[in-house]
Amino acid sequence: MTDTLHIPASIGAFQICSSESITGDASCRRYWRVVLEQGGTAILCRYPGPWRSVVKRDLEVLKWLGERNLPVPQILAGDAQNLWVLLEDLGPVDGEQALVETPSAARIERTIPLVDPLIRLAALPVRQLPPWNPSLDQAFLRWELTGFEMWSLSTATRHTAHRTLQPWFDKLAAVVAGHPQAICFRDFHLNNILLNTDGRVGVIDVQDLRRGPDTYDLASLLGDRAMPDLLTADQRQTIAEYWAEGVGATPGWQHRLEVTTLQRALKVLGTFAFLSARGLPHYQRWIPKTASAAAGLARSCGAPAEAITILLELAATGGSDVW
């Protein structure tokens, strides 16, 4: 797709008066906030050319969640053949911006509603989830960790550390895969949570919905790249306890959350490195804090000393010596 992509004058029953491009982060999809002739705004999404089956999947996921009272955008119109989707506009303010604009002492109250979609999702039986996406099973969790090996390590480090990292990653994936199972959004972080003017919380980017470890989405939220600057450790613990009470978490959830957060942090470090190498260098600024947090988690989870050293070095360099 090029920057001169023609915006349709209408989609379904909706007439489009004007449009403004929205940055889609690392997504291959493109987004616009459009003004509708009928009044109000909506989000127009365009998918890449070969993705017709993906459009169909994404619309099915949104419909399924909406029918179960999950706060996802309403589908206004969907044209899988022509790769256009028109969605309800949940507003321009995401969770990160909302917390930045909230005084520190009031951020707990502001964050608690962001967790409520996870409590609602946890109430849904896993067996009811259609098989749109592969589960976050041992193989998938281990595959997520390969990004760290491929993109966060220099060639020399990868050559010398593989005998330590590979068996540890194998074990980590197996442990997390053995946790109680729930339905997961998979990418539940502050930038995918929106708040409208009346405080209603909405969740976007939900197409990766799948079965996985019960603490995976909470780990994604509390381990968000911006969280250390927004909530203290005690505040994050309060949020975790609110989640645990809301979902009726089984004993041992604190340790499961810690281990899952470690797996997620390693996966995210690989993603940041990959995107930086791909020409999106702003992701590199998140690497030091994420690597430092991962090193602390690795230490408390009994990781090999060599793995902790690698994470500490990554925290110090930000990966600037890798690419």
Whether CATH 1.10.3720.10 fits 10-89: no
- On the 0-12 / 13-18 / 19+ scale of CB atoms within 10 A, 191 is middle
Residues facing 77 on adjacent strands: 86
Give the pLDDT of residue 1: 40
Using a cut of 0.85, tell me whether the model's pTM lies above it.
yes
**Mean pLDDT across the chain:** 94
3-state secondary structure of 32: strand
Q: Write out the residue limits of the CATH 3.30.200.20 domain(s) in the chain.
A: 10-89
3-state secondary structure of 151: helix
CATH topology of domain 94-317: Aminoglycoside 3'-phosphotransferase; Chain: A, domain 2 (3.90.1200)
Q: Which residue has the higher pLDDT, 12 or 24?
A: 12
- Residue that is written with structure tokens 């949940």 in the block: 90
Tokens standing for residue 268: 């995210």
Q: Write out the residue limits of the CATH 3.90.1200.10 domain(s) in the chain.
A: 94-317
pLDDT surpassing 90 at residue 54: yes
pLDDT tens sequence across 90-122: 999 999 999 999 999 999 999 999 999 999 999
- pLDDT grade for 300, boundaries at 50, 70 and 90: very high
3-state secondary structure of 216: helix
Distance CA 284, CA 274 (A): 10
Overall residue count recorded for the chain in this entry = 323
Q: Which residue has the higher pLDDT, 268 or 159?
A: 268
**Residue 73 CA, distance from chain mean position:** 17
pLDDT tens sequence across 194-224: 998 788 999 999 999 999 999 999 999 999 9
Percent of the chain residues topping a pLDDT of 70: 97
Give the pLDDT of residue 135: 98
3-state secondary structure of 46: strand
pLDDT surpassing 80 at residue 163: yes
Give the pLDDT of residue 111: 96
Give the pLDDT of residue 5: 73
pLDDT tens sequence across 64-95: 999 999 999 999 999 888 999 999 999 999 99
Residues 6+ apart with CB under 8 A from 95: 111, 114, 189, 190, 191, 192, 193, 194, 195
- Angstrom distances, CA of residue 233 to CA of 5, 190, 227, 311, 316: 45, 17, 9, 20, 22
